[in-house]
Structure 1
């Protein structure tokens, strides 16, 4: 084995574990993002149920928020799944999920005295931030 081949082999042996570590690190960030999205989905579904109760009591101002919560829950569910799989489709879904969560948070924040709405808004803001942070990582 030539000196060059030996040096190249040594360099490669150092790079491969670093690449694996980088992949593992990105996978753990993607997993965390998936967990935040899944938690937001649960919060949005719970808020959707709360909105339905409000609607049944005649509070029609909850109709648009109920729809937004249902849409956001679906978006978060899909994003969580794609992130957990480290899918190549995660990137566009992260953008979509962040936007959806921001809109859902804004809708829920119209009811500041309602603890269900406040919890949903908080979860959506956290999810939007996590998605945007993950997007920065994926775009590198």
Structure 2
């Protein structure tokens, strides 16, 4: 496996974990309704990151397409999470999402 693909796998796995933690923490906040978009994007981001890590390990035919989609979803999740400046879990999630999106975009380029 090439090193760039290994980095994508690593960052996708990290992002998946952080998104799941953010999702869980958001559900415990007082105003969950305010966080509906964040929670939904956390779930979608975690799912695509898990899929990317799995497909990248196989180096399948659609891996690059999934990595491109992952960059888009991670970027959207990061933008949503960074809005919640008063929530540390959202700030950590935004950082992980933006980093994963960056690595994915570099791989696809």
Deviation at 1:97, TM superposition (A): 0.2
Q: Which has the higher contact order (CA 8 A, sep 6+)?
A: 2
TM-score (norm 2): 0.94
- Offset of residue 58 of structure 1: 3.5
Once superposed, which parts of structure 1, at least 4 consecutive aligned residues long, lie more than 3 Å away? none
Question: Hey, what does 1:119 align to over in structure 2?
Answer: 92
Q: Which residue of structure 2 lines up, in the alignment, with residue 131 of structure 1? A: 104
Deviation track 1:83-131 (CA, whole Å, cap 9, x = no partner) reads 1221121111011100000100011011012110000000000000000
Moved more, 33-42 or 81-90: 81-90
| Matching residue within 51, 57, 78 for 1:84 | 57
Aligned partner of residue 28 in structure 2, secondary structure: helix
Aligned-pair CA distance for 1:69: 0.2
Match of 1:99 in 2: 72
**How many residue pairs end up in the alignment?**
109
**Structure 2 runs not aligned, ≥5 long:** none
1:1-140 equivalence runs, <5 A: 27-54=2-29, 57-136=30-109
Q: TM-score, with normalisation over the residues of structure 1? A: 0.74
Whole-Å Cα distance in 1 between the matches of residues 98 and 36 of structure 2? Answer: 21
Deviation, structure 1 residue 41: 0.3
- Aligned to 1:113, what secondary structure does the other structure show? coil
Alpha-carbon shift at residue 31 of structure 1 (Å)? 1.1
- Determine helix, strand or coil for the equivalent of 2:73: helix
> How far apart in 1 are the matches of 2:60 and 2:94?
27
* Structure 1 unaligned residues grouped into runs of 5+: 1-23
